[in-house]
Amino acid sequence: DYIANIPLADRFRFIGGAEAETTSVDVSGVDESATAGALFGVVEAEPLDRLVLTAGARRDEFSNFEGATTARVAAAWSGIEGWVLRASWGEGFRAPTLFELNFDQFGIAPNPDLRPERARGIDAGIERRLGGDDPFLTARATFFQTKVRSQIDFDLARNGFFNIDRTRARGVEVEIDWRLAQTLRASAAYTLTDAIDQGAGTELLRTPRHKGTAVLDWTPAPALALSASVIV
């Protein structure tokens, strides 16, 4: 991997890089390998005080699939003390893994016809900070929606991995982070998600409608940290 951070001018900078990886699988008599590489670049600008805009693009190439170009734009505004507004739009791409293409055990059949996932999503949120530059309390609320074409899923009734033509996940996430003392911090998050198979009009499996977490972190000494968490 390689990443470069280049200032272009006052309040402008460019972040770019490249990455590459090779994966292999040897299962059920199948010995396959694949190589993937990507180039990406992001331009970040602050045209006004407390307004940050970003725009980026990424190009992925694969040895076993056609390449794909994706983009993302985002904005964050903190013009009111203690408040932050955020919004973004982006695209995503995921090629099937070699495991998903070739796994052949326990009644699961390989599916060499799996197609890559392509996604588009938006989100918008608000953040409240109390306590100045070192806030003791931070609360966030975010609305999100993602639409995916050819989403990769798994079902034993269909003998393994397959593509869902069109899916949509929409919901709200709320988070809170509270510093109770210098050595004690608590955080909690809750997500409500409505995820459906748009073609069948049914809920997506393995996507919980309600999800919550709570974490308590205690650092009694610089070399000692204790944590307890609950996930529901």
Which has the closest alpha carbon to 39: 64, 14, 57?
Answer: 57
What is the pLDDT at residue 205?
87
What percentage of the chain reaches a pLDDT higher than 90? 80
What does the buried/exposed string (b/e) look like for 1-25 if buried means 16 or more CB atoms within 10 Å of the residue's CB?
Answer: eeeeeeeeeeeebeebeeeeeeeeb
Alpha carbons 49 and 72: distance in angstroms, whole number: 22
Report residue 109: phi and psi, to 5°.
-100, 140
Element (H, E) at 52: strand 51-62
Average pLDDT over residues 168-185: 97
What are the angstrom distances between the C-alpha of 170 and each of 76, 78, 161, 191, 192? 21, 26, 24, 10, 8
Alpha carbons 217 and 207: distance in angstroms, whole number: 28
Q: Which burial class, exposed, middle or buried, applies to 107 when counting CB atoms under 10 A from its CB (0-12, 13-18, 19+)? A: exposed
What is the pLDDT at residue 28?
62
For the chain, the structural domain boundaries read 2-231
Alpha carbons 29 and 203: distance in angstroms, whole number: 36
What is the pLDDT at residue 24?
86
CATH T-level topology, domain 2-231: Maltoporin; Chain A (2.40.170)
Q: pLDDT tens, 69-119?
A: 999 999 999 999 999 999 999 999 999 998 888 877 776 778 888 999 999
What is the pLDDT at residue 101?
86
Q: Give the pTM.
A: 0.88
List, in sequence order, the alpha helices (H) in 32-188: 98-102
CB 94 within 8 A of CB 116: yes
Beta bridge partners of 28: none
Q: pLDDT tens, 1-58?
A: 999 999 988 999 999 999 999 998 776 666 788 999 999 999 999 999 999 999 999 9
What is the pLDDT at residue 103?
77
What confidence tier does 148 reach under pLDDT thresholds 50, 70, 90?
Answer: very high
